[in-house]
């Protein structure tokens, strides 16, 4: 948030239902609804300013669910940024022994509550086929939580999808030697430049 704020962006974020100070219990449908509600709240107040959606880790599933719905109702955001994304929750689960999940924020309920597991997909790979806006994917090669190959696979699906044919789709890997793993990409001194170049182009596309 501090990196984005230092670049002049306003950042609006929230606790999903069941986390932090938010009441209720988490579900894929409920978390997606919450994100949609926040987006509409922002759009009602942001005037002509561009609005970008940023999802990290589990949040990439919420983000693509949200943006797919926004595109289907013809109110797309100006760009979508996915940091450390997976393809879908089943592939992510198959990539690791379950012990790794104690390091994956928010997944306790997914594995510990058998009622919650039914019907959870977070299908980023399906959603990107219905998304029409600029897409940036950021992934560290040494990510121990969401394997790098899942982020690259998601990019390949998006890059060949007809829905993105008029939009920029970019994949930025971060080398293992940098040590950014699952949640330290924000430390990259290159990140401001990457964002300025990507978002500058997406704003140009949006205007024309």
Tens digit of each residue's pLDDT (9 = 90 or more) over 63-114: 999 999 999 999 999 999 999 999 998 788 777 655 555 556 566 556 555 5
| Tokens 């990439």 sit on residue | 60
Task: Classify residue 8 as left (phi > 0), alpha (psi -120 to 50) or beta.
Answer: left
Is residue 200 assigned to a domain?
no
Sheet holding 134-140, edge to edge: 52-56, 79-83, 134-140, 169-174
Backbone φ and ψ for 172, nearest 5 degrees, come out as: -120, 110
| Tokens 């959603």 sit on residue | 127
Q: Is 143 a catalytic residue?
A: yes
- List the catalytic residue out of 132, 143, 163, 202: 143
CA atoms of 184 and 204, how far apart (whole Å): 29
Structure-token pair, residue 81 = 């940024």
**Residue 73, SS3?**
coil
- List the catalytic residue out of 134, 163, 182, 202: 182
Is residue 26 assigned to a domain?
no
* Structural domain total, the chain: 1
Neighbours of 178 (CB within 10 A): 16
- List the catalytic residue out of 34, 56, 57, 139: 57
**For the CA atoms of 93, 19, 84, 121, what is the dihedral angle to 10 degrees?**
40
Report pLDDT for 207.
44
Which segments of the chain does DSSP mark as H helices, in order? Answer: 2-6, 28-43, 58-72, 89-94, 108-112, 114-117, 124-127, 148-159, 191-207
For 157, the domain range is 1-15+61-189
Is residue 38 assigned to a domain?
no
Closest CA to 57 of 124, 132, 128: 124
Q: Provide the total of helices (H) and of strands (E) in the chain, helices listed first.
A: 9, 4
Kindly list the distances between the CA atom of residue 64 and the CA atoms of 46, 101, 127, 173, in Å, as whole numbers in the listed order.
21, 21, 6, 20
Report pLDDT for 92.
80
Structure-token pair, residue 124 = 């980023």
CA atoms of 169 and 134, how far apart (whole Å): 6
Is residue 24 assigned to a domain?
no
Is residue 29 assigned to a domain?
no
User: Contact 53/66 with Cβ under 8 angstroms?
Assistant: yes
Is residue 70 assigned to a domain?
yes
Is residue 102 assigned to a domain?
yes
For the chain, which ranges sit under pLDDT 50? Answer: 115-116, 207-208
């Amino acid at each position: 948030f501090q990196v984005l704020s230092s670049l002049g962006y306003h950042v609006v974020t929230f606790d999903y239902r069941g986390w932090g100070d938010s009441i209720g219990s988490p579900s894929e449908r409920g978390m997606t609804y919450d994100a949609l509600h926040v987006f509409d709240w922002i759009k009602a107040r942001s005037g002509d300013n561009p609005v970008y959606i940023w999802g990290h880790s589990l949040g990439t599933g919420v983000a693509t669910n949200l943006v797919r719905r926004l595109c289907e109702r013809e109110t797309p955001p100006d760009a979508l940024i996915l940091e450390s994304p997976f393809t879908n929750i089943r592939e992510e689960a198959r990539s690791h022994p379950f012990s790794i999940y104690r390091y994956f924020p928010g997944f306790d309920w997914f594995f510990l509550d058998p009622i919650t597991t039914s019907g959870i997909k977070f299908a980023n790979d399906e959603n990107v086929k219905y998304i029409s806006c600029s897409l940036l994917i950021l992934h560290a090669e040494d990510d121990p939580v969401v394997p790098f190959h899942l982020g690259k696979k998601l990019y390949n699906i998006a890059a060949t999808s007809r829905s993105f044919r008029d939009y920029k789709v970019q994949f930025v890997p971060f080398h293992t030697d940098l040590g950014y793993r699952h949640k330290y990409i924000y430390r990259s001194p290159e990140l401001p430049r990457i964002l300025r170049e990507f978002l500058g182009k997406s704003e140009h596309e949006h205007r024309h």
